[in-house]
Structure 1
Amino acid sequence: MSVKTLLKRPFDWVILLFFILFVGLFIFTFFNETFYDTPVGQITKIENESTTNITDDNHNKDTKYNQTLTLKILNGKFKGQTTTISHHYIASQADSEAFSKHNKVLLHIDKHLDDAYITEKKRDSLVVMMTGIFLLTVLLVGRKIGLQSILSLVFNTIVVLLAIYLHNKFPSLNLFMLMSIGVVLTTIFTLLLVTGWRWRTLVTVVSTLLGTFVCVGVTQLAINLTDGAGLKFETMSFLTLPPKEVFLASVMIGTLGAVMDVAITIASGMTEILRRTPDISMTRWALAGRNIGQDIMGTMTNILLFSYLSGSLPMFLIYLKNENTVTYTISMNWSLEISRAITGGIGIVLTIPITILLMQLWFKMRGANP
């Protein structure tokens, strides 16, 4: 199929325009230093001064590198000038970072250029590239549904950030309440955008919200009955908020996506079965919905578990490297994550019968016409 033939379809023009915009923005990131308030420098020369083998108290071995970096300032009042900076990093890069020639870095400069030091790499090119590839892939594979998914993702992100912003701006507002309102809004918007206004959309919205909030309620009940025993809330000790409130909000947000996926899968599957076999018995129809739920229940629970555990894997390894026991390491790093995964699994399991019952109820109220 030729390019000319492909571009006859309107949505292909959307993809082409997005690709052009993405490439243009990616190229722009290589020349956008003047738009930064933070000084930006480019490494033009690296001199290796010395290398030292180091060993800590727990016999962990590493290598320390001492370098002198020559940088050219690309913006600000020192633009065009050159300076040298002493840089030290270790091979594991646990608390430092290695740089290469031609890397662009963000700098902190007081009054004199000699006082400059590196704060971090300039990473906007990488961020734009990865974001663009992700969005372009979603559009190419999902097409219009992919575009709707992107809009949903943007909306959901804005809602969550807005809830956090409002809580920071007005501390008297309860964070859990704000997140609950956000969950309701994101659920309605996402399902309306993805599935359109259909009778099963209402069923999916209600079952998603019921599954999510029942899951949070069960979690709250379990915490009250056990007084939170086993949950390492001290890992959130730097928060100035009640840790249980933050934990429940995180459970609600984390559970929502999995519960929504289960609800929409069962509702869509049962709708299609009803459309193809309108004379199916109510019992058989409910059994089909249960089978669909059982097929996805295990995979969705695993997705939740792996998603939560992966984020704390680096800290998990650091604990083990410093001769902490496995049980202590798990309790300090994975206590809350495992709890979130388990409670999310409860939400997934509860959503299956809730969705099936609501589908049956709606069927009786509206008749067999899907």
Structure 2
Amino acid sequence: MKYIWNKKTLIFTILVILAMPLIILSSPLMNKNIVKQHYYNQKFEKALVTKIIESNLQKDHVIPNLEIGTQKLKVKILTGKYKGGIYETTNLLSRAHNVLAKENLKIVVGIRETDDGPNVWVYNHVRSNVIYFLIGLFFILMLIFGGINGFKAVLSLIFTGIMLIFVLVPMIFMGKNPMLSSILIVSIICVISFLLIGGFDKKTLAAIIGTIAGVVVAGIISYISGNLAYVTGLNVEKGVQLVYIAQDYNIQVKGLLFSAILIASLGAVMDVAMSIASSIFELHRVNENLSAYELLKSGLNIGKDIMGTMSNTLILAFAGSSLALILLIWGYQMEFTQMINMPFIAVQIIQSISGSIGIILTVPFTAAFSVFLIKNEVVVKK
């Protein structure tokens, strides 16, 4: 029995690995009918600062160690069409855009093609190396300390990213309903992730059903609350800018708030669902004489401790992303009536509370499904 179980898990894992590049390669076929717009008439390439010709900088009196002013530079293009070319450019440093150039520093430059040749300007620091390092470190630590389960978790994470970027995003740009598209993609992610991590058994099935029920309820509550509070996809972060793109595509902006809730709460809800399902099935394994009521009650009791910390985690995540706004509200000494009715504040509260409600309801959903599968002996063949 154990050999068959391992064989099935291995085959499924291999199929998921093979499916991921196929999804990436087939993504352009999904959006081949989309007329893509080109909003930037410039290229962004890596460059090396070879010389500081002139520097006119002064210390900022508000932000410590920040210098503002201008620099005249010589930069050497390292990538792209103009690779190897050396150009002079003026680097403007302000509080909003501050890239302090030093000799031998690698930066990202923007290149506009003009009748007089390329116009080069300083865009930003090269941050990709740090990002790649952190991602690599995360994966390595997962593999070292997680072993096979860590590998499956990494695989699940990569699959989730691929589904969101190469499937959900094109579907939204194709004009598909964001709510229905999100439910479909979230459900697929949930099923694949749980099967990879939990395997083919009744516990995994209970966690899958509980997760899908929890995130859908969270999304529905956010959708209804958003309509009652008169907030739409325009009020989510970058929503106003998205409207200008939506004019050129078929994006249904109204349903984006629902999609954001489903995606944001999925991880926490999956965690809660698996914890509850594992606990109930373990209780049943230890004592098969426990009644359905006793199992359900135990699952709900376990869930009380879990839902408190997970809901807190979700709310703090949203609060952390809005910290700058919270500081502005306090700094401007806004009245409560003014603050609580701001669209962005309403969106943040609806997102965090709806996600937390999804977590709370995941507990009874998963517990009930787990007990049902145990007591009715619904068999998932191994």
* TM-score over 0.5 (shorter chain): yes
The aligned counterpart of 1:203 is 206
CA distance in 2, matches of 1:263, 1:130: 28
Q: 1:97 aligns with which of 96, 99, 103?
A: 99
2:351 counterpart residue number: 340
- Aligned: 1:309 with 2:319: yes
Aligned to 1:4: none
Q: Any gaps of 5 or more consecutive residues in structure 1?
A: 1-36
TM-score relative to the length of structure 2: 0.74
CA distance in 1, matches of 2:180, 2:351: 19
Equivalenced residue count is 324
Shift of 1:244: 3.8
Distance of 1:326 and 1:60 partners within structure 2: 28
Counterpart selection for 2:285 from 258, 275, 279: 275
Partner residue, 2:261: 251
Query: Which amino acid letter does the alignment assign opposite residue 103 of structure 2?
Result: K
- Of 304, 307, 314, the residue aligned with 1:297 is 307
The Cα of 1:196 is off from its aligned counterpart by 0.2
Residue in structure 1 matched with residue 296 of structure 2 by the alignment: 286
CA distance in 2, matches of 1:302, 1:48: 52
Question: In the alignment, what sits opposite 1:325?
Answer: 334
C-alpha separation in 2, matches of 1:49 and 1:79: 26
Change (3 A) 1:75 1:202: closer
CA RMSD of aligned residues (A): 3.2
Distance 2:63 2:189 in 1: 47
Answer yes or no: is the 8 Å Cα contact 1:164–1:175 preserved in 2.
Answer: no
Structure 1 length normalisation: TM-score? 0.77
Amino acid at match of 1:44: T
- Pick one of 67, 70, 74 that aligns with 2:78: 74
CA distance 1:279–1:127, shift in 2 (3 Å): same
What letter matches 2:86 in structure 1? T
CA distance in 2, matches of 1:303, 1:167: 29
Change in Cα spacing, 1:164 to 1:88, as seen in structure 2 (3 Å) is: same
**1:223 deviation in Å?**
4.2
Deviations 1:264-305 (A, max 9, x none): 100101111211222234333222211211111111111111
**Structure 2 segments unaligned to the other structure (5+ residues):** 1-42
Structure 2 residue 177 is the aligned partner of structure 1 residue 174: yes
Greater CA drift, 106-115 or 251-260: 106-115
Determine the C-alpha separation between the residues in 1 that align with 2:81 and 2:358: 56
Contact 2:49 2:74 in 1 (8 A): yes
Secondary structure, counterpart of 1:237 in structure 2: helix
Q: Indicate the percent of aligned positions where both proteins have the same amino acid.
A: 25
Distance 1:293 1:312 in 2: 28
Are the equivalent residues in 2 in contact too, given 1:315–1:333 (CA < 8 A)? no
Deviation >6 Å, runs of 4+: 59-62
With over 3 angstroms needed to count, the CA separation of the structure-2 counterparts of 1:358 and 1:54, relative to structure 1, is closer
